[in-house]
Structures are given as structure tokens and as C-alpha cells.
Chains A and B, each alone.
Chain A
Amino acid sequence: MGRAKLPRKSTNIDMTAMCDVAFLLLSFFILTTKFKPAEAIAVTTPNSVAAKVAPDKDIVMITIDKDGKVFITMDEEQKKEAVCNALNSQLNLNMNVAAFKKAGFFGAPFGQMASFLALAEDQRKGDKLPGIPVLDSTDNQMVTWMRAITDAYLGSKINLLVKGDNAAKYPAFKAVIDAFKKTDQLKFQMITNPESVPTGTELWKKTMAGEKREE
């Protein structure tokens, strides 16, 4: 009896299945990528080794641009309405509540808020706006803003964020911090770009040893 002949097998593998998987993953990643919306205020944030992802709900973000101009961004419409009403009644500003709710950010002295809100959305660009005046220590309008915001968020959590430009000078930042202190908002977070921990440093050794980092 002769030996059974082994059929010669081709070394070609069908790549179709693998190709399907690759493109399925690819489309998944493309679709889930959130594109950065074009920002009205140009800010380049500094880097830090902080590993915690910035929150994106219930935020009150204070943006400081490179000239030290300060802007406020809020995400919740209800709170915005409360803030608007509070400011209107306190300071007699006559701001349009609907326009206030629609605005993506606020950046004008109180006296100019009404005309700021009257501007079309695409004309509100950070570099042309005056920003909220903070540097005058007798009239730090940030304090009034923060008071209204704290009242609006009474009983719920605020994620207070500061997003500063690399080149912003310290006094503007200090004025913002002072406003936080005056309204008893003692916790805040600064938005940064991630950076790897320099090798050989103490934190690096800790992370390598598997210790959890304190936030």
C-alpha cells in the first residue's frame, strides 16, 4: 500500500476577513472621534503631568487668554438663566435672557453686556472683546459673576475650571483666584495638556512601583 498523499496546501491566506475587521475598527474610531470645535477664544494650555481627564459636565470655565482677558463659559442652560436673572436684578443690566442662554461665553464688563449679547454669535471673537475686567482690585467684576454663579449652583456641584494661556500674566490669574476665594470656591481645576512624567523623578518611581497617585 502506498502512503496517502498529502494534498499540497497553498500558503495564501484569505485576507478578506482581516480587512473587514480593520476597516470596521477604523470606521468606529473615525466616528467616535470628537472634533475640536473651532474656538472663539484662542488659548494654548500649558502641559502638566496630571493624569485626570477634565470633566465636561456642570462646568463653569474661566478662560484667560494671552492678553490676560477673562471669559466665562457655562454649560447648563438652567443655571445660565438663574445667573442672568440674578445679575439683571442686582445691577439693572437689562440683559436678554434668551440671548444669554444661547451665548457660548461671556466676556464684557457689565456695562457692555447688553451690547455684547446683541452681537451676532460669529462676531464674538475673543481677541476683539474686552473681557471681564478683573485687574482693578476695587472693581473685580469676577467676584460679582462668581457670586451669581455660586448662588445658581447652590446645593449642586460646580466643576470649576480655569483654562489659561501659556503667555497669560500672573495678575489676571491671581484676580480670578481671589474671586474664587471671596466666594468660598476653594477647589478648582486647571486645564492642561497631558505630559509624561520625567523618568527618574520621585513621581516616576512611585508610578513604576504601582502606587496610585493622589489627586
Chain B
Amino acid sequence: MAEMDTSSGGGHKKGPGVKKGKKLSTRVDLTPMVDLGFLLITFFIFTTTMSQPTAMKLFLPKDAENPEDQNKAKESGVITLLLGKDNNVFYYEGQLAPDGSNFKSSNFKEIRTVLLEKKARTNEKDLVVVLKPSSESTYRNVVDILDEMTINVLKRYALVDISPVEEQLVKLSDAAGAAGGAGSN
């Protein structure tokens, strides 16, 4: 064991008249020091692994020259998510009805149930999620919704440009949502 020999110089006898000095132990209880050491270690381990940035992969589709070459999707299997201002999410299934009757509003918390429900009642091969961020949505929204695809294991999704009609609809709904207070739907 790593103990220090404190008996200074290996046993030369002192004379009979020499008084012995009181021998003080040099052993220190190291337990608190060990505690502190391990505490710091745990701290460093956690901080190092936490700050490691991760990367999320995204594959872009190649722009098709003419509309006929584009990938076709079954109308019944399509759900379109539109990202609006202030973390609003809107969605519709299939084609957007001319009167906007199938246009529904949601948010990032509820969209998961919507997606899961859609996934449950659609044939897996037909399911396509179309993501259309409006110009008011933020980068964070886009990453969040892409993340939602990973979380719900949706394999087919695409980031698509929003059409002017939809953009307008999102804008109107955003304004209505702001006027009507948060979370009317």
C-alpha cells in the first residue's frame, strides 16, 4: 500500500535521555477527495457528450424538367402539412378542396396524432407526406417537422414549394388564429 514511511531514516536509536517527539500520523482521509474527483469526472463526461452536435440527413429530389416526369402519388395516401407563422401547422388530405373545407389547423404537439392516425388507415406504399413551409415559418419549424417524420417512422416525405393559394390560406388562418386567441382548434 502506498503509505509513507515516516519513521525517518530506519531505526537509529536515540540515546536514553532524549525525549521522543510525539509521532504525528501523516495519513489523511482521502475519501472526500475521491468523492470530489468522481463528481468532477461525471460532470466532464456529461458535458462532453452533450455538446456533440449531430447531423440530420436530407436527400433532395431532382427537379423534374416537365411535370409528366414527376413522381405520382395516390391522392388518398397524401397528406400535406403546411407550416405557418408562430409554430402553426395546417394540414389537408388528398387535394385541397376549392372551398378549403378540408383545410385543418393543428400545432406541433397535435400533428403527431394526426400523422399516426393517417398512417394507421393508409396503405404503407401509398402514404406520402408533403411538407410545405410557408415563407413565415422558421428553420426550426422545418427541422422539427422533418424530425417528426423520423420519430413516426414515415419513410416517404418531400419538401415542396408552397403554392400561392396555399400561402394565402395559411396567411389568413394565421391571422385568424392570432385574432381568435391561441389554440382555438
Contact = CB atoms under 8 A, between A and B. Distances in A.
Interface of A: 14-19, 22-23, 25-26, 29-30, 32-33, 36, 45-55, 64, 161, 164-174, 177, 180-181, 184, 186-195, 197-198, 201-204, 206, 215
B143 A46 contact: yes
B24 interface: no
A25 B41 contact: yes
Given A166-B139, A192-B56, A215-B57, A202 B153 contact: yes
A165 B48 CA distance: 22
A48 to B, nearest CB: 4
B1 A14 contact: yes
A166 B139 CA distance: 6
A27 to B, nearest CB: 10
Contacts of A46: 139-140, 143-144
Contacts of B38: 22
A170 B56 contact: no
B142 A170 contact: yes
Given A16-B30, A54-B54, A181-B60, A29 B41 contact: yes
A70 to B, nearest CB: 12
A50 B2 contact: no
B55 A187 contact: no
A23 B54 contact: no
Contacts of A29: 41, 44-45, 48
A15 B31 contact: yes
Nearest to A215: B57
B53 A193 contact: yes
A173 B139 contact: yes
B60 A206 contact: no
Contacts of B2: 14, 16-17
B143 A186 contact: no
Given A50-B55, A181-B63, A23 B37 contact: yes
B139 A50 contact: no
Q: Which of B47, B116, B139 has the most CB of A within 10 A?
A: B139
Majority SS of interface residues in chain A?
A: mixed
Interface residues of B, number: 53
26 contacts: A16-B2, A18-B34, A19-B30, A22-B37, A26-B37, A29-B48, A33-B48, A46-B143, A47-B143, A48-B147, A49-B147, A50-B54, A50-B57, A52-B55, A164-B140, A170-B133, A170-B135, A170-B138, A172-B139, A177-B159, A181-B60, A187-B58, A188-B58, A192-B143, A193-B54, A206-B153
Q: Which of A32, A52, A173, A181 has the most CB of B within 10 A?
A: A173
Nearest to B1: A14
A186 B30 contact: no
A49 B152 CA distance: 11
Q: Which 8 A-B pairs have the closest CB atoms?
A: A22-B37, A15-B30, A164-B139, A189-B55, A29-B44, A54-B55, A50-B56, A166-B140
A53 B54 CA distance: 4
Given A48-B147, A170-B135, A201-B151, 18 more contacts: A19-B34, A25-B37, A26-B44, A33-B44, A33-B48, A46-B139, A46-B144, A48-B54, A54-B52, A54-B54, A170-B136, A173-B139, A173-B142, A186-B62, A191-B56, A194-B52, A194-B54, A204-B151
A33 B41 CA distance: 12
Contacts of A186: 59-62
Given A169-B138, A170-B142, A190 B30 contact: no
B150 interface: yes
